[in-house]
Copies of this chain bind each other. A is one copy, B any other.
Amino acid sequence: VAVVPSFNAKPRRRSAAVVVRAEGQTINPEIRKAEEKVVDSVVVTELAKPLTAYCRCWRSGTFPLCDGAHVKHNKATGDNVGPLLLKKQ
């Protein structure tokens, strides 16, 4: 007597889950996208003020300077980024 193997007749459902990893995303959505790599230089002897804040969130309207836009970004995303402060002393 031949044994008939049993199959589960129900079609398997595909999961609809989408996993988004922050690591796969760009950090800079808008600033100088025509440049292959955005690098800025500061000659520190030429700094005018005792303290100057430089942007590291890529959301500043005055990039490469910080204009405080990191606050809105942190609030919207739960992130914790902030500027680099250059101090003359």
Contact = CB atoms under 8 A, between A and B. Distances in A.
A11 interface: no
B44 A81 contact: no
Interface in A16-38: 18, 20, 22-29, 32-33, 35-38
Copy number in this complex?
2
B77 A25 contact: yes
What class of interface size applies to chain A in its complex with B? 35 or more
Contacts of A80: 28, 32-33, 35-38
A78 interface: yes
Interface in A31-88: 32-33, 35-45, 47, 54-58, 64, 70, 73-74, 76-88
